[in-house]
Structure 1
């Protein structure tokens, strides 16, 4: 009997190997030794040298476990435990804190409740501790037991899968060779995936119908009827409670198109195709499929709404372009796991945009790959170009055809606004500044108002219902309105005269902060805020008041002052933490 139990335990332990652990330690030697020891036991290790980076990487990768090393010199880092446990996105991740017994009380005070120092097989706890000194064998046993609870059983790779892995390794090495041309790399990826991965012909044909000035519901229905899978999915949606209450059950595709509507039918076809192309077949560290779908859906709905506001005659194309704007990321993740993990890790470590990391390491980004693939699949050129330029506002503004430019601007802005609203997740969370010229042409010169996102969220919830996505994964807080002059304000944002909007304001309000924006700084406001954010612009003076004692008056509460600069202006500036002054890149 005991042998049988031991065998079962061994099976559980083996099933957690290859799991991902984020290790935070400010001590380089300890971090290196623990990393090597855990890697010897087949764990994948992500390192973080500061608590700030540890939180960013935990939020990005959603590792199977976080290990936090606390010493007498960094007792304040116990607060990282609370940040992980209180975040909706990371709350379920188990945390193992390694801490000396002499300072254990700091952890207990920070978490408000002592946690067990050993693993109880029946306990649902997510916080565990290990006290110095300890034996690595004991630590390893504890790590494996913690993660064995939720780890899926490992499946041995087939011969065909092993051969494919070897092919992918060869192409992966080519992608990192900056001497090879971008064209040859894109062709190598397309050759590797073309037999198993292509956008459904039915959807592409439907896009041709949508693009036509003489398109109609009957023609769209004929197209769908040629595809059994698309027809079945459409009929299923048409008969859900939301639509079934409008009449009797429908059994014909043409009736389904009429019941759903032309817009909803075309949008649903594209959504179903995207989900079919990117199944959640395994755990994608840092690129969870359901979060990717939510981000894509949100971007699609926002892009469509922006196009409608501008009177664009084909807003459905903006929906499709927004939906698949990040489609170039899927083959990179599906086929080049190690490379994709490296891209994600360097993105979070350097606090930069994912596409910039791609360009630095591979010489191209997912935008070029998405454009290449959709062009091969004969997508409308306006959709492919919107994918290519969705991180390049300069090229968008240089587009000569007004209708094409507005569609590209809509997708570009929608991607940023979806991030600001925390709608899904897609490789990084940086909210870059949207150029004033784009905001003006999209008819939102001071950014979207409070009433903009309501219809988007409503449509997003409906789509989630159709597509069986979990609404609880839509991480949207209570959006705060513009703070009034008499309010006690959490944050005051001082814009410059060149641009009167930054997406970070949407993100801050979405996270519950009371934010006031202004173009002209009032010294009286200084006493009302906890944080002041000044957005600088080259050629425009900053409207800021300087005080002799930094706080304006003796005994005044400390106010955090954040200055956002262009990258070139910010290179030599260092944060002055003691005086609560921080300089940041305004696009990060």
Structure 2
């Protein structure tokens, strides 16, 4: 299936294009014209982006340049369309990175031909969500119903998952062996031998180049355990078992399977290393907890896909944790589900209890570590993995890690290079065993093309020994210098483009004022060299202002609110690391930073540029009728009154349009005679969709008795009209209904 990010500011055209692509079995990710589209493009990795531009399109081209500056998504084809432009303007659009420009009025045949030419090799999407894996409409409705208890929702989900899949017993058996001090290679060999497929895998690994090193061929499981190592065999056996759960499963767009597993493996490896160093929990429990810490999001995607996609969209739009969005939309999160499943799978009690607290938006305090040792270790491991960009999950949100917490884990000097080298070695070993893909670690993550030209000075006011923001910026290839004192910071600011400050709180207002008054180096991007070797600059990517450019991160920064300007951006935790690149871009290019933060005070780029933000109509009407003439007249009536209208001539198409509709459905006008799906089933299905719980229903009937309408009345339908009356009378009835 081809996936297209659609960035359209005209509501009528957005509806038309979405309908067109839906009929062609193309997955559409809709986005308003704003910098939030940057995060969506990163997360969903589409096959194509289509963007409408206005006559004054400077800010839209700036957004396009941001996309093209990121190596991870720079190759994604871009089609722009808008009002007819002269040759010079068209050239500027193509120079900014567009693959093509189509003038209005939009010729659909030309658009389809260009899409076909740009997506030559077909879609990168190898998977689709199978409908048989999903819940019934009634069960879906219960998951988002606030009157249904959390425990009842967990029961529905766990029952469905256990019906669709069986968790391998090998994992629980290996954990039991790990908990016994008397267990050794013989006991572990017995567990592995009870699973023929696992036995074959362990023998294959023991005889692989990675472990055999030219030694004799091994045919006995106990010998294989000795060669691989008791600890390594336990971890490999658990990893193989878990990996098989989803190896052949189906995934929706926005969720990369390989990146997910590398992230989980990295968290497992790091959590085990912290557990071994701190002696706070059993190493194997830390490993399997890290490996399965995000299994819930995988299961959400596979078995509760409607809910998963809505949560993922909210996460990318608002820059907040996936788990927070789950709570807001459904009243529970995937950690609750995993905790219940762990209990049913007879995992150790500490795993069942602590998994509930993993990766929550919390302040990681020493008290929290003492109360939830395993959850703290896995959460810190998750932050480290995200900071070094080891794989990718459903969000890239992080929290600060205090010096006190790192001391409890016995890392008083933070995470050193030797620590990360061991992580890379282990990741490469597991990749060779599991055969995820052909990448090796450490892999080059410097995705921002001009990052090496940007001089950043970084300073922590909280005396942190591990700073996620700094580590992330290093992986992106920025030129970074650290300051160890306030005076050193002042001096280094004068030779830098942007100052990155962490650990900010309300006691630092005076220090902040001193930094804000400094003159910093204006950014001039070097694009190429002339024949004599002299550097040339790109005038479209330079700033003349030498005022301070500051990006701050902290927890309590009330005094900053009155000081926000185009050169100052402050963000609370938690925040999505990917938003930092765009915040730096705004600072370097003197772009507006008004409303750059979400309601929680964290970086969120949905409202990054007012000039790009378009408010779409929230009055959506869906017409389901088998007669094209009726649909046409109803469409004309509602569009004249400012509604956004979509239409379909078959029942399944009505349901699909409702599911893909991002804004709330205001009204459904549906015929009782619509083919392929009954009117009653259509209304039931739409009433279970979280976005459309307040939708109003109007049903058209012909040649029906009153008893035929009773089932619809029981569903809450109160408005009907007889199609045997004239269209003028029908439209008059709509007016009387206030529509």
- TM-score of the pair, normalised by structure 2: 0.67
Alignment match, 1:182: 150
Give the CA deviation at 1:89: 3.5
Q: Answer yes or no: is 1:65 the counterpart of 2:48.
A: yes
**Aligned residue-pair number:** 542
1:244 aligns to 2:227 (yes or no): no
- Measured after TM superposition, the shift of residue 399 of structure 1 is 6.0
Determine if contact 1:563/1:584 at 8 Å carries over to the other structure.
yes
Residues 549 and 257 from structure 1, CA distance in 2 versus in 1: closer, same or farther, beyond 3 angstroms?
closer
Contact 2:335 2:357 in 1 (8 A): yes
Please say which structure displays the higher CA radius of gyration.
Answer: 2
Q: Deviations over 1:99-138 (max 9, x none)?
A: 5543222233334xxx8xxxxxxxxxxx444333432343
Distance apart, 1:331 and its partner CA: 1.8
Q: What SS does the corresponding residue of 1:98 show, helix, strand or coil? A: strand
The separation in 2 between residues aligned to 1:156 and 1:388, in whole angstroms, is 29
Per-residue CA shift, 1:15-40, capped at 9, x if unaligned? x5xx4321124555654553454345
Q: Mapping of 1:48-127 within 5 angstroms?
A: 48-85=31-68, 87-98=70-81, 100-102=84-86, 103-111=89-97, 127=99
Alpha-carbon distance between aligned partners in 2 of 1:90 and 1:23, rounded to the nearest angstrom: 16
1:564 alignment counterpart: 553
SS at match of 1:451: helix
**Other-structure match for 2:262:** 294
- Residue in structure 2 matching 1:150, options 122, 125, 149: 122
Give, in whole Å, the separation in 2 of the partners of 1:198 and 1:39: 34
State the shift of 1:187 in Å: 0.5
| Partner residue in 1 for 2:195 | 227
Q: 1:309 aligns with which of 251, 268, 277?
A: 277
1:414 and 1:187, CA in 2 relative to 1: closer, same or farther beyond 3 A?
Answer: same
Please tell me whether the aligned partners of residues 455 and 480 of structure 2 are also in contact (alpha carbons under 8 angstroms). yes
1:93 CA displacement? 3.4
Moved more, 206-215 or 533-542: 533-542
Is the Cα–Cα contact under 8 Å of residues 150 and 332 in structure 2 kept in the other structure? yes
| TM-aligned CA deviation for residue 421 of structure 1 | 1.0
Q: What's the CA shift string for 1:475-497, capped at 9, x where partnerless?
A: 84379xxxxxxx99822223223
Q: Using the alignment, how far apart are the partners of 1:89 and 1:477 within structure 2?
A: 11
Query: Take 2:164 and 2:389, find their aligned partners in 1: how far apart are those partners?
Result: 32
Partner residue, 1:504: 469
Matching of residue 210 in structure 1 with residue 151 in structure 2:
no
Mark the runs of 5 or more structure 2 residues left unpaired by the alignment.
447-451, 523-543, 576-739
Paired with 2:438 and 2:508, the residues of 1 have a C-alpha distance of 45
Q: Within 2, Cα distance between the matches of 1:344 and 1:541?
A: 36
Tell me by how many angstroms 1:531 deviates: 0.9
Match of 2:3 in 1: 20
Over aligned residue pairs, what C-alpha RMSD do you find?
3.3
- The offset of 1:530, in angstroms, is 1.1
Once residues 438 and 572 of structure 2 are traced to their aligned partners in structure 1, the CA distance between those partners, rounded to angstroms, is 33
Give the counterpart of 1:431 among 386, 393, 398: 398
Contact 1:67 1:97 in 2 (8 A): yes
How much does 1:371 deviate?
Answer: 1.2
Contact 2:364 2:376 in 1 (8 A): no
Unpaired stretches in structure 1, ≥5 consecutive residues:
1-15, 116-126, 480-486
Distance of 2:244 and 2:515 partners within structure 1: 59
Check if 1:583 corresponds to 2:566: no
Match of 1:516 in 2: 481
Secondary structure of the 1:66 match is strand
- Cα distance in 1 for partners of 2:553, 2:128 equals 50
Deviation at 1:330, TM superposition (A): 2.0
Match of 1:388 in 2: 356
Once the two structures are TM-superposed, the CA of residue 459 in structure 1 deviates from its matched residue by 1.2
> Contact 2:357 / 2:375 at 8 angstroms: preserved in 1?
yes
Does the 8 Å contact 1:565/1:584 carry over to 2? yes
- Whole-Å Cα distance in 1 between the matches of residues 128 and 572 of structure 2? 46
- State whether structure 2 residue 431 is matched by structure 1 residue 464: yes
Match of 1:7 in 2: none
**Correspondent of 2:102 among 130, 136, 142:** 130
Counterparts of 1:147-546 in structure 2 under 5 Å? Answer: 147=119, 149-151=121-123, 165=134, 167-312=135-280, 314-392=282-360, 393=362, 397-398=366-367, 405-445=372-412, 447-472=414-439, 476-477=443-444, 490-497=455-462, 499=464, 501-518=466-483, 520-522=485-487, 523-538=490-505, 540-542=507-509, 543-546=511-514
- For residue 38 of structure 1, the aligned residue among 5, 13, 21 is 21
Which SS does the other structure have where 1:286 is aligned?
A: coil
Distance between the aligned counterparts of 1:539 and 1:571, measured in 2?
Answer: 9
Preserved contact between residue 489 and residue 516 of structure 1 (Cα < 8 Å): no
Aligned equivalents of 1:559, 1:309: Cα separation in 2: 42
After TM superposition, the structure 1 stretch with the greater mean CA deviation from structure 2, 25-34 or 223-232, is 25-34
Q: Distance in 2 between matches of 1:220 and 1:72?
A: 69
Q: 1:308 to 1:249 in 2, by over 3 A?
A: same
- Contact 2:7–2:52 under 8 Å retained in 1: yes
